[in-house]
C-alpha cells in the first residue's frame, strides 16, 4: 500500500521526494517516475500488486479456515504466482540495468513474491505431481533454502550491478 501512496503523491506532485529516496542507488522516486512503473498501459504497477496480494491473502485466510481447493484452483494459483515471479524479475532487471536505481519497497515485494512462488510451487509438485520420492519430499521440506539461495543471488546481482556506485 505504501508503494501506491508514494506513486499517487508523485502523480500529484512530480517534485515529491519519496520516503525511500535514501541516496543515488536507493531511490524509489526514480523507479516510480520511470515508464516501467506503469508496465500495463496507464495502470500503476502497485495496483496490480494490491490485487495479487489481496487474492493471495484471501487464499491464505481460506486455508486457515479449513478450506481445501481442487487441483484446477492450485493450477490457476500457480499461473498467478508464476506471472508475479516473472513480472518481479522483469522489474528487478529494469531497476538494476535500465533505471539504475532500487526501490526498497519494491525489493520487499520481490522478496515476498519469490517466497510465495517457491511455497506454492513446491506444494503443487508435492501434491499434484504424482511423485513421492526423497527428492520431492526434500524440496518441499527445505523449500525455504530454495528461496534463500534465490534471494541471495538477486542480492549479489544488485551489489554487482551497483558496485561502482556504492
- pLDDT band at residue 132 under the 50/70/90 scheme: confident
Question: What are the cell numbers at 84?
Answer: 508475479
Rounded to whole angstroms, what are the CA distances from 77 to 43, 82, 117? Answer: 22, 8, 10
Q: Which residue range forms the structural domain that includes residue 141?
A: 46-161
Alpha-carbon span 145 to 166, nearest angstrom: 28
In a domain, 28, yes or no: no
In a domain, 33, yes or no: no
Q: Percent of the chain beyond pLDDT 90?
A: 94
Tell me, yes or no, if the pTM score tops 0.95.
Answer: no
In a domain, 9, yes or no: no
In a domain, 95, yes or no: yes
The separation between the first and the last C-alpha atoms of the chain, rounded to the nearest angstrom, is 29
Kindly tell me if the per-residue pLDDT of 5 is higher than 90.
yes
Kindly tell me if the per-residue pLDDT of 1 is higher than 90.
no
Domains in the chain, number: 1
In a domain, 38, yes or no: no
Closest CA to 49 of 124, 107, 102: 107
In a domain, 24, yes or no: no
In a domain, 70, yes or no: yes
Residue spans of alpha helices (H) in 13-133: 28-32, 45-64, 71-93, 104-128
Amino acid at each position: 500500500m505504501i508503494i501506491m501512496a508514494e506513486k499517487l503523491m508523485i502523480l500529484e506532485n512530480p517534485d515529491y521526494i519519496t520516503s525511500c529516496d535514501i541516496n543515488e542507488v536507493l531511490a524509489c522516486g526514480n523507479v516510480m517516475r520511470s515508464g516501467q512503473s506503469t508496465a500495463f498501459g496507464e495502470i500503476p504497477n502497485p495496483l496490480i500488486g494490491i490485487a495479487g496480494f489481496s487474492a493471495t491473502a484471501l487464499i491464505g485466510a481460506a486455508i486457515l479456515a479449513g478450506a481445501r481447493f481442487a487441483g484446477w484452483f492450485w493450477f490457476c494459483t500457480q499461473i498467478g504466482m508464476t506471472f508475479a515471479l516473472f513480472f518481479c524479475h522483469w522489474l528487478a532487471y529494469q531497476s538494476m540495468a535500465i533505471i539504475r536505481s532500487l526501490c526498497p519497497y519494491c525489493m520487499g515485494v520481490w522478496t515476498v513474491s519469490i517466497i510465495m512462488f517457491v511455497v506454492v510451487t513446491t506444494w503443487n509438485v508435492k501434491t499434484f505431481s504424482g511423485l513421492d520420492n526423497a527428492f520431492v519430499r526434500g524440496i518441499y521440506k527445505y523449500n525455504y533454502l530454495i528461496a534463500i539461495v534465490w534471494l541471495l543471488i538477486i542480492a549479489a546481482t544488485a551489489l554487482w550491478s551497483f558496485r561502482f556506485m556504492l
